[in-house]
Structure 1
Amino acid sequence: MRPLIHMSSTDFVEKVLTQLSKKGATQAEVVYSEGSGVSVSCRNGEVDTIENNQDRSLIVTVYKDQAKGSASTAVVDQHSVDLTIEKAMAIASLTEPDEAAGLAEKALLATEFKDLQTFYNNEKSADELVQMALTAEQGAVDYAAQQGQAINVDESNVQLGDGYSIYANSQGFFGEKKGSNVSASVVCIAEQDDVMEREYWWDATRDIGLFPPPENIGKIAAYRTLERLGSRKVKSTKAPVLFDPSCAKSLMGHMLSAISGSALYQESSFLKNDLHQQLFPTWFNLFEDPFIPSGFASRNFDSNGVQTKQRHLIKDGVLNGFLLSVYSARRLGLQTTGNAGGAHNLEVQTTTTDSALIKTMNRGLYVTSLMGQGVNTVTGDYSRGASGFWVENGEIQFPVSELTIAGQLKDMYKSLVATGNDVDKRSKTLTGSWLIDEMTIAGD
């Protein structure tokens, strides 16, 4: 990494902690991060943009007798660092003490640091990334031509980046994280009978050596776009709904939001009273594993420096735990779960994985895209715009759009019929499709 103020990053962080102690901080924590990346986008066979970024930041948090002050800077030179320290100390002096504030107990801090294989030397020049983007775009054009269709690629984008961060505190904890990533996306537009449809596809990995051929991303984007042509509405009804993996992840996301510490202590969660209660069918399990090699959310320690652990968030359908930071756990009178900063790698494990959920559903709505923000995680009420395909007799009949699907999240979780084996591995949540027994579908 680049030198910082004529010293190593680790020496710099230790120096900041020493300054904070001399300034009168009872406790202190420091987060230093730096990252670099390149993003290229192409359109109509030509380069549209090339962006290079190099970022650094410092976040300083101090505690003075449980009064907290925090300040940050994106300009990491000596003057800016000194000013940031002064601001954090001044804020702490003006803040009321909070009995839940403060660092994690020393016994909870991470002591085991596994090699999580989150960093790779993804060396690619801007010209090579441009070629990847152009290849992805051409893949979409070629696929459409093979189908006798015309398609317009609105944008083909490739991004490459890496990052490094240090979390250290006055308890003597010092932890480093290093990660890399590469992603690509293609957005396509097609037209039929003066109606335009827009769809996309993307992929991401940490190791560029495992990245799929760029032309395949374009091909899938074109396929998804052409499949949308001729979309129509259906009459309002109640029917089973099958969520494709990307949409199923959003259902999981609503649950994660509801079991987060901040939602719980603010009493703004529809699951606040459901710890150790049956939330899903007995065959459903959700496993959290921070130690998956190359995982998108692999961590040895959370944002408080607390040791992460493997555990079942959902065991035999029962909600087995919350997502708690040190602060939220103290507010709730509980123990931190090592989830400051959110959940780690999540894997849906079930005994009812189905390879043909469309046939299992027989009749209903297959959702491939969701729109809008009509989800209330305080009450659990769910209502979102949706598009996808209508299914009859276990076969896709035609694309549909401009629909609204509605239900209650607790009811939806309990009426989960099966999950698919079409697992989406592009994020920290690994799940296949979800088949919900019945939802309200509003159309014509």
Structure 2
Amino acid sequence: MLMDIQAELHTLQDKIQLALKLAEQSQTTAEVGAYQDQGLSVSVRQGEVDKVEFTRNHGFGITVYRGNSKGSASTSDFSDAAIERAVQAALDIAHYTAPDECAGLAEPEHMAQQILDLDLYHPWDLTPQKAITMAQACEASGLSQMNIKSSDGAQVGSSNSVRAYGNSHGLLVAYPQSRHGISCALIAAQDDKMERGGWSFSHRVADKLQDGAYVGLKAAERATRKLGSRAIPTGEFPVMYAPEIAGGLLGHFIGAISGGSLYRHSSFLENSLGQQVFPDWMTIYEQPHLLQGPASAPVDGDGLATYSKSFVEQGALSSYVLGTYAARKLGMNSTANAGGVRNLRCTATHSLEDLLGIMGTGLLVTDVMGQGVNLVTGHYSRGAAGFWVENGVIQFPVSEVTVAANMRDIFLNLRGVGEDVDARGNVQVGSILIDAMMVAGK
């Protein structure tokens, strides 16, 4: 059953206007966020239906400012009485919080003036039976492959939502969006060894999903290629991150240049604005207005209009990632990034084959494990699995190794970025080749 989008939009707008009116009556400024989600998710395992789940969730949150004192409250009850209680709770909390000169709404002149339509809403009239059939076909495709012995399941899902934001400056934004996906996880076995591999794909438009049979085959290929792993020597080698995990490296970089890390003095890139942090061929940028983009949004979490920008230009750090509060703490201007970056991209320099040739002998990492990332010092150390490469040719799978370096050195010593971009998520990047990292083998 599809959402009545117009009815949901009107409901959220009415509740936000009610909350803002109540806050105004108490001589406070306020900002309100609300959402309504509805979705269908189906999973199968070994051909049998494992779960059929219909979800409908909503939420409402308000933050009020008594001068520079802040109070926040939330509720999942959309009745007028519950909204009134939430507003009163936020007002009561603001009586007790210490003043913070950086707290408060963004300045009125900075509010978004035009709300772009980014083509984010494409409903899919998905029935449970159709979803079951698709998931079963996806899983069967993978199970038909050699060495695939079992399945961790296949899933098909669809969700629609409405997001709304309003504040005391008169801004009220509400828009719908959709997300549809298919995934599969399989187990490969050889002798007494078993390996798990999976694949998933999502899009705002159902017709643009990857074919279920392809997803199943991709999951099977990713599981079977891990079989027969061998030990490798410990030493310093070139390391390449495959596209599906390379985005994590850029994610760590974004974390290090984000306002919260900077004003808390917990980033190894503090005071690096304008400095060379990548090779001079590298540009890293966001495109929040991509039509149907996975993370596109017309406004940020403070109500400022989003815009395209570079964070790195010709290798130099050109911008931090700032919302209004962090910008005030740092004595700077917001970059309209409250809530994070949206549709992050970077320079591509080589084909995958060329990158492997440049690498020569080293480690191609396809999986990372553990939490060994320290943004304060820049130290990076994580468990890894992947493939050993010699003379630019993949030789055999590798598991149970550790890769380590300092992230400042990792970023400065990039050799290239592949054109084999993984286009499935917010951070879209190809393979990343690092000149050298310490690799600890068995």
Where on the TM-score scale, by shorter chain, does this alignment land: which range? over 0.9
Q: Tell me what 1:125 maps to.
A: 127
Matched, 1:290 2:288: yes
**Distance of 1:410 and 1:197 partners within structure 2:** 33
Could you list the runs of 5+ residues in structure 2 that have no partner in the other structure?
Answer: none
Q: Which residue of 2 aligns with 1:269?
A: 267
Structure 2 residue 26 is matched with structure 1 residue 23:
yes
What is the letter of the counterpart of residue 328 of structure 1?
A
1:49-73 Cα offsets, whole Å, 9 max, x none, are: 1111101110011000110000001
Aligned-pair CA distance for 1:6: 12
Q: Give the one of 343, 350, 354 matched to 1:345.
A: 343
User: CA offsets, 1:167-219, max 9 Å, x none?
Assistant: 00001111123211111111111111211111111111110011111110010
Aligned to 1:8: 11
| Pairing of 1:126-145 with structure 2 (within 5 A) | 126-142=128-144, 144=145
Q: In structure 2, what is the equivalent of residue 207 of structure 1? A: 205
**Which residue number in structure 2 is paired with residue 61 of structure 1?**
63
Mapping of 1:160-199 within 5 angstroms? 160-199=158-197
The residue correspondences of 1:42-441 to structure 2 (distance < 5 A) are 42-142=44-144, 144=145, 147=146, 149-352=147-350, 355-441=353-439
Q: In 2, Cα distance between the equivalents of 1:386 and 1:341?
A: 30
Q: Which residues of structure 1 form unaligned runs of 5+?
A: none
Distance 1:71 1:6, change over 3 A: same
Residue in 1 that maps onto 2:39: 37
One-letter identity of the residue aligned with 1:234: I
Distance in 1 separating the partners of 2:410 and 2:15: 50
Tell me the secondary structure at the aligned position of residue 312 of structure 1.
strand
SS at match of 1:337: coil
Structure 2 CA distance for aligned equivalents of residues 252 and 49 of structure 1? 35
Preserved contact between residue 5 and residue 78 of structure 1 (Cα < 8 Å)? no
With over 3 angstroms needed to count, the CA separation of the structure-2 counterparts of 1:5 and 1:193, relative to structure 1, is closer
In structure 2, give the amino acid aligned to 1:57.
G
Change (3 A) 1:3 1:80: farther
Q: Distance in 1 between matches of 2:69 and 2:296?
A: 32
CA distance in structure 1 between the aligned counterparts of 2:300 and 2:221, rounded to whole angstroms: 40
Task: Give the secondary-structure state (helix, strand or coil) at the position aligned to 1:220.
Answer: helix
TM-score by length of 1: 0.96
Q: Find the aligned partners of 1:288 and 1:6 in 2 and give their Cα distance.
A: 28
For the Cα contact (< 8 Å) 2:370–2:382, is it kept in 1? yes
Q: 1:266 to 1:353 in 2, by over 3 A?
A: farther
> Which whole-Å CA distance do the structure 1 matches of 2:175 and 2:367 have between them?
34
1:75 Cα shift? Answer: 1.9
| Whole-angstrom CA distance in 1 between matches of 2:190 and 2:354 | 30
Partners of 2:311 and 2:200 in 1: CA distance: 28
Relative to structure 1, the CA distance from residue 155 to residue 64 in structure 2 (aligned partners, 3 Å threshold; closer, same or farther) is same
Given the superposition, is the C-alpha separation of residues 6 and 431 from structure 1 closer, same or farther in structure 2, using an over 3 Å criterion?
Answer: closer
Say what the alpha-carbon RMSD is for the aligned residues. 1.6
| CA-CA distance at 1:9 after TM superposition | 2.6
Secondary structure at the aligned position of 1:254 is classed as helix
Q: CA deviation at 1:24?
A: 3.0
Whole-Å Cα distance in 1 between the matches of residues 195 and 64 of structure 2? Answer: 52
* Residues 95 and 377 (structure 1), Cα distance of their counterparts in 2 relative to 1, 3 Å cut: same
* Alpha-carbon shift at residue 403 of structure 1 (Å): 0.3
Question: Counterpart of 1:17 in structure 2: which amino acid?
Answer: L
Q: Is the 8 A contact 2:321 2:341 kept in 1?
A: yes
Q: Identity of counterpart residues, as a percentage? A: 38
Are the equivalent residues in 1 in contact too, given 2:12–2:35 (CA < 8 A)? no
Alpha carbons of 1:115 and 1:2: their partners in 2 closer, same or farther (altered >3 Å)?
A: closer
CA positional deviation for 1:3: 8.6
User: Given that residues 257 and 263 in structure 1 are in contact (C-alpha distance below 8 angstroms), is that contact kept between their aligned partners in structure 2?
Assistant: yes
SS of residue paired to 2:283: strand
The one-letter code sitting in structure 2 at the alignment partner of 1:125 is T
8 Å contact from structure 1 (residues 283, 350) kept in 2: no
In structure 1, the residue corresponding to 2:387 is in which secondary structure? strand
Question: Aligned-pair distance for 1:354?
Answer: 5.2
Contact 2:349 2:417 in 1 (8 A): no
Q: Distance in 2 between matches of 1:86 and 1:434?
A: 51
User: Take 1:50 and 1:297, find their aligned partners in 2: how far apart are those partners?
Assistant: 27
Per-residue CA distance 1:287-346 (angstroms, 9 max, x = gap): 211111111111111000011111111100111101111001001111000000001111
In 2: Cα distance, 1:249 partner to 1:347 partner: 9
How far apart are the structure 2 equivalents of 1:121 and 1:233?
Answer: 49
Three-state SS of the structure 2 residue aligned to 1:294 is coil
